[in-house]
Amino acid sequence: MVKEISLGVFLAVIIFLLLQGVNVMPIVFFLGLFSMIYYLIDNSGIKKSYNKISSKQSTITFQDIGGQDIAKKELLEALDFIKERDSIIKLGIRPLKGILLIGPPGTGKTLLAKAAANYIDSVFLATSGSEFIEMYAGVGAQRIRKLFETAYQSAKKEEKNNAVIFIDEIDVLAGRRGQHNSHLEYDQTLNQLLVEMDGIKIEDDVRILVIGATNRHDILDPAILRPGRFDRIVKVDLPDRDSRLHILKIHTKNKPLSDDVNLEKIAKETFGFSGAHLESLTNEAAILAMREKEELIHERHFYEAIDKVIMGEKLNRKPTKDEIYRIAVHETGHALLSEIINPGSVSAITITSRGNALGYMRQNYHDDLYLYTRDYLENQIAILLGGSVAEEILIGNRSTGASSDFEEAVDFAKRIIYSGLSDLGVIDKDSISSKIIYETISKIIKRQEERAFNYISSRKDIVLKVTDRLLESEKLYGNEFRQIIETNYLESEG
């Protein structure tokens, strides 16, 4: 309405001046230039609307979030300080102004923030750190002020006492100051956020809690991490096996599962999966069942979905017969070494092309490991080298298909060295010469290559039988693979 009235007044003035014989072109030019600049700034997002979700609209609770028991416990304790306002006033406790959630992508940081807003019955405003940075000086600071003002007004409008501001990727606007020499827009934006957080008081009508999320907390400015701003740092880690089982149960509640589906077994085989990966896994399994026009989701759908989540969709490219044979030999070499070193560890072998891989051997981890011994690391190197060694023994030469295996083997060897587990003992990474590192890496890999060569040379018949089965069916599950080994062993004994 204001714009229409202003436009009407402007036109009336222009007409009046024209009737008086005044040259209005300079006025029109400068007003047009001003309007264009205003339009550009306005569209750059100063008057940006934020994704506001009230607690009535959001039904996410902490019970809906699988695993993360430690993170939830820390978060709930911090939220109780806000919820029990009268108690903290009596004890003289200042309110927590900010909670920082750190952890890998897909672990549920956004869900925890939404559950926190629901728990303290507050309005919820979500935004991202990248939305505050623009080429125009002062825009980011203006957006920060607008965000806090919107949180306050929204809470008053909905008659709430609390408001939660969730800033994802907070490292974008809260990185260390002084790193951007071209202009100070980043620093001004962070300064404004610090000012707004310092202004939060316990006696405010609306108590505002800022929740930040990042997987790069190491680059944050120290000023934002000091007490009185982000008072609590909550680590949201990848789920362990029990947590993965809990997450799988949550995401399969609305899905019809066949009796052959064992979620505990699936949780065991998804080491390193985040909550987002597990949600995608259950969804992909349901999609595969729909493609086959099945009414129930079977175990095979989940295992196929695991391959898809890890490696990607199947590719249409078809290698030549010789290449397919080489791929089968290569993957069998990996699997045989894995089974010899760690019986029962092979989950599946496939020669179907997915993503950047022409074939794939998936291991089944008996336990989630967070600390590695030298024996474990050397075993992994031997397994990685098993593919190229099998090619050399059965085909007579190696191929470029093992290049990624070699890179990973070198990384494991470096981990042995830099962890003080090699023959060099404890070393200073910065002062030791690259020549010594190279010679030690070569020594570690050569020893495991000889080990792999001995293992596969004495079991060539097994490699040939597994290769033939792979060429027929394209995929073998662990039990089938072990059955071939057992049958061959019994035949040789007989």
Catalytic residues: 331
Which residue reads 């559950």 in tokens?
A: 115
Count the Cβ atoms, other than its own, within 10 Å of residue 205. Answer: 8
Q: Are 174 and 190 in contact (CB under 8 A)?
A: yes
* R_g of the chain computed on alpha carbons: 31
Tokens at 448, concatenated: 């495991």
CA 107 to chain centre: 7
Which helix (H) or strand (E) is 165 found in, with range?
Answer: strand 162-168
Report the alpha-carbon distance of residue 460 to residue 470 in Å, rounded: 15
- Residue 358 makes CB contacts below 8 A (sequence gap 6+) with 319, 323, 327, 351, 401
Q: Please give the torsion angle defined by the CA atoms of residues 369, 372, 373 and 375, in that order, rounded to the nearest 10 degrees.
A: 80
Report the candidate in 206, 475, 192, 202 with the shortest Cα–Cα distance to residue 351.
Answer: 475
Specify the pairing of strand 207-214 against strand 98-102: parallel
Q: Which two tokens stand for residue 19?
A: 């009737």
Q: DSSP secondary-structure letter at 258?
A: -
In angstroms, the CA 383 to CA 167 distance is 43
Closest CA to 203 of 80, 89, 96: 89
Tokens of 407: 């890179």
Q: How many residues does the chain have?
A: 494
Q: Where do the H-state alpha helices sit in 42-178?
A: 69-83, 85-90, 109-119, 139-157
- DSSP assignment of 204-253 equals -SSEEEEEEEES-GGGB-HHHHSTTTEEEEEE-PPP-HHHHHHHHHHHTT
Q: How far apart are CA 333 and CA 151, in angstroms?
A: 59
Residue 204 has phi, psi (to 5 degrees) of -65, 150
Single out the residue of 255, 307, 216 nearest to residue 263, CA to CA: 255
CA–CA gap between residue 485 and residue 494 (Å, rounded) = 14
Q: Taken in order 110, 114, 117, 120, is the CA torsion positive or negative?
A: negative
Quickly count: other Cβ atoms within 10 Å of residue 379's Cβ.
21
Q: By three-state DSSP, how is residue 444 classified? A: helix
